[in-house]
Amino acid sequence: MSGKIFLVIKREYLARVKKRSFLLATLITPLIFPTILGLFLWIALSDTSTETRKLIEVVDENNAYFLESNEMYTFSYGELSPEEAKNLVQEGKRFGFLYIPELNLERPQGISFYSEETPALSMISSLEASLKQKIEEFRLFASGIDPAVLSSLKTNVNIQSIIVGEPGGERVSNSVVNYAVGFIAGILIYTFIFVYGNQIMQGVIEEKSSRIIEILVSSLKPFQLMMGKILGIGAVGLTQFLIWIVLISAISSLVMGYFGMTMPQQQMLEMSGQQELFPDTGQEGLMEMVQLVQGIDFFQLTLTFLIYFIGGYMLYGAFFAAIGAAVDSPSDAQQFMFPVTIPLLIAYMGLFIFVLDDPNSRVSYWLSIIPFTSPVAMMGRVSFGVPWHQLALSIGLLVAGFLSTTWMAGKIYRIGILVHGTKVGYKVLWKWLKDNG
Amino acid sequence: MELLSVQSLNKSYGAHVALKDFDLSVGQGLIFGLLGPNGAGKTTLIRIVNQIIEQDSGQILIKGQPLKMRHVRNIGYLPEERGLYKAMKVKEQLLYFGQIKGLKKQDAKERITAWLDKLDLSRWKENRIQDLSKGMAQKVQFIATVLHQPDLLILDEPFSGFDPVNAEIIKNEILELKRQGTTIIFSTHRMESVELLCDHIALINQAQKILDGPVKTIKNQSKTNRFRVKMIRKEEGNAVPWGTMEQKEGYEEFTMDLNGRQPNTLLTELMEYGEILGFEEIIPSIEEIFIQKVNESHVR
């Protein structure tokens, strides 16, 4: 009998893997991310190198605020009246004009920027930052402090977070890297469950509506058929995942190699919004990056990912199979999608709102323990380090969870696949569940 | 020997009784007609025999042994509603169904080649089902049903959807299988379509069997002792000993009861009135017998 399950798995697997669309999706998807990344990098690089500096006219009623020109902006002090400066902007001779009225240092107000086109947000904030610094310097002077002395007192602090473990097993961790890892792993599992769960549902509906099911269940038990389908499609997912891992790492290293090692680092810094953590991109930063990446236990991460991927997929896959069996067409399935979508959405949103923010909070803990949310939520926590007993509890519950959803789905599936043309609601499903025949 | 024996089978769906104390016995090597209107319980019975659903009570024996999952090897089933994986190739699909039924891969491959040749489908073996005509797809489905050489072939509404040419081809294949010893059960509500093929029939109505027996016996029992006569009368307008006559082209047609006479006596009597063109006993069709039986059971 187990040989027959294997036949079903093999059919489900080959029928999908051999499809041209599988090949396309598998090959193109991993290209999308690096391509977009590469495209942005290319635009960003060519942007700064080719664009002409923006010329900005400054009218300063205080005659005190001299802004230094930089790569992006050139400031011109033509001692013009505001009207004349405005005309220059209108004639296109200046990008914009910055008007600084006589300022009260206690409460600086009335600074305006005039331009033909809407200025970039980054430009306004850069102007604001420069003026702020100038005003602060004036105020420091006014209170008798030398800004030079103050700046010499400033220092860079960079806390290296180290996870305490067995002797020699201490590893450097960084919340940004952990965040990224948790983020990607959580989203991947969420997406996989939806995409492959839907394939299960479509497959069941195909067999049901084309009545192939009658021939099949006259040859093997409905439960075997359902399990064969779930496992076969799951194997397709794993295959796709493995191909992606290989492709993404190959292509990413190519892209990174092309743009140099500095780019992914900068990207990492921008993501964290904590530029001052690393002193620019010196040798020190590079060392730190290597340390951090080495700090990730890839084996453990991959293993937990696979466990939660398979567990989560099985748990929800059973639901998708039951839904497929209960309806006659995909459009009828909508009404039953609610109980599947909601817990997954909770897991997804919980990942962003709670888990990645504070992996050890009470909410994060429960999200990563309850089987309906744990596949997504635990992947958000795992890179931050999770006590083994929590991991064991979560995995244990996940296994119990998918065993019970599979059992329930089997009961619905067994009856549903043979029912045609009747409107099936939750009440009917409940009846099928209770039916012991 | 009995190939299939069904004993006091009961099955209900909620309040709806689909089969009630149902008995059936199918002898080996026969074509057995399971006849009855839609909703009589035929499909339920077939599904139970195919182990798609379980009975509430009663038992089923195959060659004297209680029906088990391993018996799927002995049964071929063509459901009423046909279906194949549309995106799968003909050969792959047949191989899958053959293996699911328990055939070894190599055996299955050899038989697929033979059957595809036989039904003139060899050219299409690498095509997907969706590229085939409906008739061709049905032939593929038939092959999938018989590929594992089942002892018992259960065909639900076998000729529905087949065009006349393909129906004839399939009919001949079925007769060929019968000659080889396969037992065949036809289930249909279109009784005239299988009447001439069946050796034995059972009539089902409202979850119960109302008639069961060899076709010849049933027909003999249902004789009405009426004869249809075609005649050219000597003299028109003569007083005649029978009632209504139907005027046909060049002759008249009427029916007469034997009323205890021998057919020859009746024929001799009739010959005096004119030239007899036809003299034949009226034997009701299975459908007429069915309607008669249903009416009788209602009266009871």
The CATH number of the domain covering residues in B2-214 = 3.40.50.300
A218:B54 CB<8 A: no
User: Which pLDDT value is given to residue A160?
Assistant: 67
pTM, two decimals, is: 0.73
User: B96 CB near a chain A CB, below 8 Å?
Assistant: yes
Average pLDDT of chain A is 81
| Separation between Cα atoms, residue A49 and residue A119, nearest integer Å | 20
Question: Which two structure tokens, joined as six digits, stand for A414?
Answer: 């067994």
Residue A284: the pLDDT is 55
Same domain, A115 and A196: no
CB A228 within 8 A of CB A12: yes
Task: Using a pLDDT cut of 90, give the percent of chain B over it.
Answer: 37
Distances (CA, A) of B102 to A9, A228, A348, B54, B181: 16, 16, 45, 22, 20
A430 to chain B, minimum CA–CA distance in Å? Answer: 14
Instruction: Using an 8 Å CB-CB cutoff, list chain A residues near B69.
Output: 1, 220-221
Q: Are residues A107 and A147 in the same domain?
A: yes
Whether residues A199 and A302 fall in one domain: yes
Per-residue pLDDT, A286: 55
The per-residue pLDDT for range B209-243, each reduced to its tens digit, is 988 899 888 888 888 888 888 888 777 655 566 66
Query: Are A115 and A253 in a shared domain?
Result: no
Task: State the nearest Cα–Cα gap between A320 and chain B, in angstroms.
Answer: 20
Q: Indicate whether B196 pLDDT > 90.
A: no
Identify which of A239, A202, A321, A231 has the alpha carbon closest to the alpha carbon of residue A10. A231
B69–chain A nearest CA distance, Å: 8
Q: Could you tell me the two tokens for A175?
A: 């919340």
Q: Which residue of B has its CA nearest to A217?
A: B52
User: A395: pLDDT confidence band, cut at 50, 70 and 90?
Assistant: very high
Q: In the prediction, which pLDDT does A295 show?
A: 60
Residue A95: pLDDT band by 50, 70, 90 thresholds? confident
Give Dmax (Cα) for chain B. Answer: 78
**Hey, which residues 134-153 in chain B have their CB within 8 Å of chain A?**
144-145
Strand-pairing partners, residue A59, are A99
Beta bridge partners of A58: A98
Could you tell me if A260 and A292 lie in one domain? yes
- Using left for φ > 0, alpha for ψ between -120 and 50, and beta otherwise, residue B34 falls in beta
Q: What is the mean pLDDT of residues B247-252?
A: 82
Domain total for chain A?
Answer: 2
Q: Do A289 and A233 reside in the same domain of the chain?
A: yes
Residue A278 scores a pLDDT above 70: no
On whether residue A35 sits in a domain, the answer given is no
pLDDT tens-place string over residues B78-133: 988 778 898 899 999 999 999 998 899 999 999 999 999 999 999 999 999 999 98
Using a CB-CB distance cutoff of 8 angstroms, which residues of chain A are in contact with residue B38? Answer: none
Residue numbers of B between 159 and 198 with CB closer than 8 Å to A: none
Going by DSSP bridges, is the β-strand pair B183-188/A161-163 parallel, antiparallel, or unpaired? unpaired
The β-bridge partners of B287 are none
CA distance B156 to B186: 6
Closest CA to B111 of B149, B150, B151: B149
Among the listed ranges A222-236, A354-368, B176-190, B244-258, which one has the minimum average pLDDT value? B244-258
Confidence at residue A289, expressed as pLDDT on a 0 to 100 scale: 58
**Which of A294-298, A356-360, A374-378, B283-287 has the highest average model confidence (pLDDT)?**
A374-378
- pLDDT tens string B140-188: 999 999 999 999 999 988 887 778 888 888 889 999 999 999 999 999 8
According to the model, what pLDDT value does residue A312 have? 93
Query: d(Cα B96, Cα B102) in Å, to the nearest integer?
Result: 10
Residue A273 confidence (pLDDT) above 50: no
Exposure string of B272-284, with b = 16+ CB inside 10 Å and e = fewer, is ebbeeeebeeeeb
CATH number at residue A70: 3.40.190.10
Mutate to test the interface with B, among A1, A12, A207, A214 (most CBs of B within 10 A): A214
Q: Give the per-residue pLDDT at A162.
A: 65
Structure token pair of residue A94: 């200046």
* A179 and A134, same domain (yes or no): no
B183-188 and A96-100 strand pairing: unpaired
Percentage of residues in chain A having pLDDT higher than 70? 82
Residue B255, sorted as left (phi over 0), alpha (psi -120 to 50) or beta, turns out to be beta
Q: Tell me: the pLDDT tens digits for B36-75?
A: 888 888 989 999 998 888 899 999 999 999 998 888 888 9
> Does residue A292 fall inside a structural domain?
yes
Tell whether A113 and A202 lie within a shared domain.
no
d(CA A191, CA A197): 10
Q: Is B96 in contact with A11 (Cβ distance < 8 A)?
A: yes
pLDDT of A83 reads 86
| pLDDT value, residue A264 | 47
Q: What is the dihedral of CA B239, B242, B248, B251, to 10 degrees?
A: -60
Please tell me the least confidently modeled range out of A406-415, A425-434, B180-189: A425-434
């269940």: which residue's tokens? A217
Residue A67 sits in the same domain as residue A187: no
CA distance A221 to chain B (A): 8
- Domain residue spans in chain B? 2-214, 224-281
Least Cα distance to B201 among B189, B180, B275 occurs for B189
Please indicate, yes or no, whether residues A145 and A237 belong to a single structural domain of this protein.
no
Scan for tokens 């074509």, then name that residue: B31
Which one of B9, B45, B85 would you mutate to disrupt binding with A, by most A Cβ within 10 Å of its Cβ?
B85
Q: In this model, does residue B6 exceed pLDDT 90?
A: yes
Q: Does A21 touch chain B (CB under 8 A)?
A: no
| H/E segment holding residue A384 | none
Helix (H) or strand (E) holding A233: helix A222-259
Chain B contact present for A417, CB below 8 A: no
Contact A215 B75 (CB under 8 A): no
Which chain A residues are Cβ-neighbours of B75 within 8 angstroms? 218
d(CA B227, CA A15): 63
Q: Are residues A246 and A286 in the same domain?
A: yes
- Classify residue B202 by its DSSP letter: E
pLDDT tens digits for A293-327?
A: 656 667 778 888 889 999 999 999 999 999 999 99
B100 touching chain A per CB within 8 A: yes
Nearest to B52 among A4, A209, A418 (CB): A418
User: In terms of Cα–Cα distance, which of B263, B187, B158 is closest to B24?
Assistant: B187
Whether residue A117 is contained in a domain is answered as yes
CB atoms B52 and A220 under 8 Å: no
Residue pair B249/B280 in contact by the 8 Å Cβ criterion: no
Position B182 scores a pLDDT of 94
Rounded to a whole number of angstroms, the distance between the first and last alpha carbons of chain B is 34
pLDDT bin (cut points 50, 70, 90) of residue A30 is confident
Q: What angle do CA A231, A232, A235 make, to 5 degrees?
A: 85
Residue (of B75, B94, B72) closest to B85 by Cα position: B94
Domain extent for A132: 52-153
Residues 180-239 of A with CB under 8 A from B: 206-207, 209-221
Strands A171-173 and B252-257: unpaired
C-alpha torsion sign, points B163, B165, B171, B174: negative
Helix B105-118 × helix B134-146 angle, to 10°: 140
Instruction: Tell me how many residue pairs between chain A and chain B have CB atoms under 8 A apart.
Output: 61
Q: Which residues contact B220 (CB under 8 A, 6 or more apart)?
A: none
> How does DSSP classify residue B86?
T
Residue A318 forms part of a structural domain: yes
The yes-or-no verdict on residue A430 having pLDDT over 50 is: yes
Strand partners, B212: B202
Query: Do A149 and A179 share a domain, yes or no?
Result: no
Bridge pairing between strands B65-66 and B57-62: antiparallel
Of the candidates B83, B108, B80, which has an alpha carbon nearest to the alpha carbon of residue B96? B108
Distance of alpha carbon B205 from alpha carbon B260, whole angstroms = 33
Give A206's contacts in chain B (Cβ within 8 Å). 85
Chain B residues whose beta carbon lies within 8 Å of the beta carbon of residue A211:
79, 81-83
Residues of chain A with Cβ-Cβ distance to B18 below 8 Å are none
